[in-house]
């Protein structure tokens, strides 16, 4: 029987690529999304992947959404925490809501999604939790103290939960993409991309969402059973650790 995978923020950008790759690898996939109904329905019609709408910054919404997914698709064995937002601002101008929105959505969602699922994974003695962090959670980024803090927090969460869950057959890993060819990056002015962003990347190009997705498929597989508490860096050499 195919394993069930849930991808948050799974209908656009990197999340959409992950959802498609997981389906191609034989998983039964459910894709969560937060607000863009038109994009979600288009994704559903094109891929046949069921979509479920809820706000990952709300614990109650996550608990209810997970119940619905498990009732319709099956017990969730693979969770991909991909949903995230930016509210960029220099710190001395940052408003409290810009901080809390990003922290609650990016970092708070890890608790909100993992807590309702972890007991079922422990009972079944199997689980895969994969979080999409960011190169800016590793190195920091001007104008993104909120985003960088949330993404760095995701790495600490991953390392701690991996240690707690290892004996229950659950692996917990993170992926840190660099600049990736998504709608968000495509919206950057061409001159900014060519003069300020690409020169930072030794291989001289953006990453593709499908390249991140292939890493997720590997971490979800039985072949990655020894990997837990790890961070995969996929940024073209922009930042090496």
What DSSP string describes the chain? -PPEEEETTTTSHHHHHHHHHHHHTT-EEEEEESS-HHHHHHHHHHH---EEE--TT-HHHHHHHHHHHHHHT--EEEEEE---------GGG--HHHHHHHIIIIIHHHHHHHHHHHHHHHHHT-EEEEEE--HHHHH--TT-HHHHHHHHHHHHHHHHHHHHHGGGTEEEEEEEE-SBSSHHHHTS-HHHIIIIIGGG-TTSS-B-HHHHHHHHHHHHSGGGTT--S-EEEESTTSS--
Distance, in Å, from the CA atom of 110 to the CA atom of 18, rounded to the nearest integer, reads: 18
Digit-coded pLDDT (tens) for 148-169: 999 999 999 999 999 999 999 9
List 27, 33, 147, 179, catalytic entry: 147
* Length of the chain counted residue by residue: 241
Percent of the chain with pLDDT over 70: 100
Digit-coded pLDDT (tens) for 14-39: 999 999 999 999 999 999 999 999 99
Q: Give the number of other Cβ atoms within 10 Å of residue 133's Cβ.
A: 25
Digit-coded pLDDT (tens) for 55-78: 999 999 999 999 999 999 999 999
The predicted model gives 168-173 an average pLDDT of: 98
Distance, in Å, from the CA atom of 40 to the CA atom of 49, rounded to the nearest integer, reads: 10
- The region that residue 125 occupies, defined by phi over 0 for left and psi between -120 and 50 for alpha, beta otherwise, is left
- Confidence check: pLDDT of 1 > 70: no
Angle in degrees, CA 54, 59, 63, rounded to 5: 70
The phi, psi pair for 158, rounded to 5°, reads -60, -45
Active site residue 147: yes
Q: Give the number of other Cβ atoms within 10 Å of residue 189's Cβ.
A: 9
The two structure tokens encoding residue 217: 């498929």
Average pLDDT of the chain? 96
pLDDT band at 181 (very low <50, low <70, confident <90, very high): very high
Residues 6 or more apart in contact with residue 87 via CB below 8 angstroms: 97, 98, 99, 101, 102, 146, 147
| Contact (Cβ atoms closer than 8 angstroms) between residue 27 and residue 78 | yes
The predicted model gives 204-227 an average pLDDT of: 97
pTM of the model: 0.96
Instruction: Pick the closest to residue 52 from 101, 60, 107, 64 (CA basis).
Output: 64
């Amino acid at each position: 029987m195919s394993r069930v995978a849930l991808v948050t923020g799974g209908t656009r950008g990197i999340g959409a690529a992950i959802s498609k790759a997981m389906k191609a690898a034989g998983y039964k996939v459910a894709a969560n999304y937060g607000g863009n109904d038109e994009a979600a329905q288009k994704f559903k019609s094109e891929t046949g992947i069921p979509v479920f709408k809820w706000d990952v910054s709300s614990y109650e919404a996550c608990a209810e959404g997970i119940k619905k997914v498990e009732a319709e698709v099956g017990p969730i064995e693979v969770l991909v925490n991909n949903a995230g937002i930016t509210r960029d601002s220099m710190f001395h101008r940052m408003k409290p809501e810009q901080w809390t929105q990003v922290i609650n959505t990016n970092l708070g969602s890890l608790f909100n999604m993992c807590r309702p699922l972890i007991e079922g994974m422990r009972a079944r003695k199997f689980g895969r939790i994969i979080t999409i962090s960011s190169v800016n959670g590793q190195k920091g980024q001007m104008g993104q103290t909120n985003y960088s803090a949330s993404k760095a927090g995701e790495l600490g969460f991953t390392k701690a939960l991996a240690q707690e869950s290892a004996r229950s057959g659950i692996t917990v890993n993170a992926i840190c993409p660099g600049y990736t060819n998504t709608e968000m990056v495509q919206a950057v002015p061409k001159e900014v991309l060519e003069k300020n962003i690409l020169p930072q990347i030794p291989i001289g190009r953006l990453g593709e969402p499908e390249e991140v997705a292939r890493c997720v498929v590997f971490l979800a597989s039985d072949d990655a059973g020894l990997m837990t508490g790890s961070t995969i860096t996929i940024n073209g050499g922009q930042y090496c650790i």
